[in-house]
Structure 1
Amino acid sequence: MRRVDKLRKLRNINLNELWEKEQEWLDYNLLDRKYNDCVELKFWKDLAPRYSEKFNLYRDVPGLGEWLHQKIGNNKRLLEVGCGVGNFTIPFSKYSKEILAVDFSPAMLNELLKNIEYENIENIRMHHSKWEEFEEPYDADFVVSVNSLYRVRYMETALKKISEYGKQGFFIIRTVYKPYLHEIFDELRIEYKINSDYMFMPMMLWNMGISANVQYTRYGRPISFQAWNDIEGQMIDDIGEDKYLQYKDELSDRFLQKAVKGENGFTYISEQIIEIIYSFKDGSHFSL
């Protein structure tokens, strides 16, 4: 088959249909927060006061904040999709002209408001909305999304909107969702499920003719286990009971080699992989 025919065949693939299947959107379950807005809102209401302490890529990923500042520049208008409590919004405000911070969770926006008032910041405007339903006119230089598109069913539409809103470009930052203990599984060559969203999103952008760069960085995240039963349960969830029983001794040995035991249980430093998908309308390319 000629190269042009292969490319044409690839372009005819319906990536959003594959996305729906891979992300299990066809297995509708109203008890799962992925499919139920009420369950999702309750989840964030419970987590919002503790979110910044537990999850903060701006704080935890070395060099990420500085890299974004360098690439975005000063005095820009930003649109942040899924701003949460403001882990990125607050630092962005120090050098940006204005920020429109969009989030679906009132609880998360309430925590952001507390941070805005504490810092006496005047250039952040909040907007309560899902990204899929967002229609607010806004003249953004850049759009930024950090781990905020996980509940989007029609991803191509969401990505196209991000590209259209960002006059100069966009940044989509994603955690590649692997099991916390994936390094141990990799060493023992044990298969496990990995979320493929990090592959689909760049492919969708390229298929729409949107020039997007992709790069990866890593950081270590401490994961705590109070008891050995918690560790066993995590492994069984990740690889299944049959594989766990088959490799139980090897898994235990590897974990004990890597983890630190303390008074309150075990601490394991999990390698987290961060994907950065970004595009500049002028075609420039920068590495972290």
Structure 2
Amino acid sequence: KAHEASRDVVNPSQMYHDGVNARAGLTAAATMRVRGLHCAAGMSLPTASIGEPALPLMVGFDTGVYVESTGKRAQTAADSLNPTPVIIGISGCNLDIYPSTAECSPNGTQTLTITGRNFPEPSTPDTTFHLVFRTTDWQDATCHNVTHISTTEFQCTTYPGFGRFAAPELTQFFQGAFNRTFALEHANITLSFVVGNEHLCPRNATGIPCSFPERGTCLGSTGTCECAASDDTGFFAGSACQVCDPWYLSHNCSIRCPGTNSSCEGRGTCYDGVCTCYHGYGGDDCSRL
């Protein structure tokens, strides 16, 4: 007796990994007879007898959709070629103990390497990645610069944080509509920051300690911030390096105000290197009565 299977012919972008958003239904227009081998779209397909192995049959030239001859399920080419990505280890900090890494700088400046298998191709279009290290004893650390190297490697730089035994959570976002989180091969794949007084370093309004990396560095020995002060970075002040140094009040904190003893000699206000003198004072630095 002829065995029948029916499936919609859908665009691959409509069918996502793990079947989360699969939209395969039953319509007469897509009906295929496995024996007799008739396709409503006008394609003829190889015959398959009852009891033979259920080999996948391509039912469209550009749909990327496969249908098994048993008619039990449909899957995209991406589904068969891209199994679940798995993270197998992290390395890059001062102490690498496979599959984990430890003694990481709280400033998160050491390049981390995340290795695994089944990672997507770096050229995968319309795809972004988000990497967070989930801690149990402190605030999560987010990687601000994730680089997709290959199908077995990602790299991460700029991930300021504190705490120990933070588990990596790497998520792939596809066209803003679909996402999947990579699996961990071992529960003990973790990242640990150096333990000291880093948790005491003040944070700016966005929660970044010492406004790192643009404005300051957290000193683990004291739990205080060392603010940047150079023509290249700008000159910053405040407990979390969140404001311009009073001598460099400007749009980028790098233009020095006139004055010898203080900005505008304490007799005016300054911005972008120009003094606005209080009443009764004059000159470029407000030093003239």
Between 1 and 2, higher relative CO (CA 8 Å, sep ≥ 6) is seen in 1
- Which of structures 1 and 2 has the bigger CA Rg? 2
Name the TM tier (shorter chain): under 0.3
Structure with the largest fraction of strand: 2
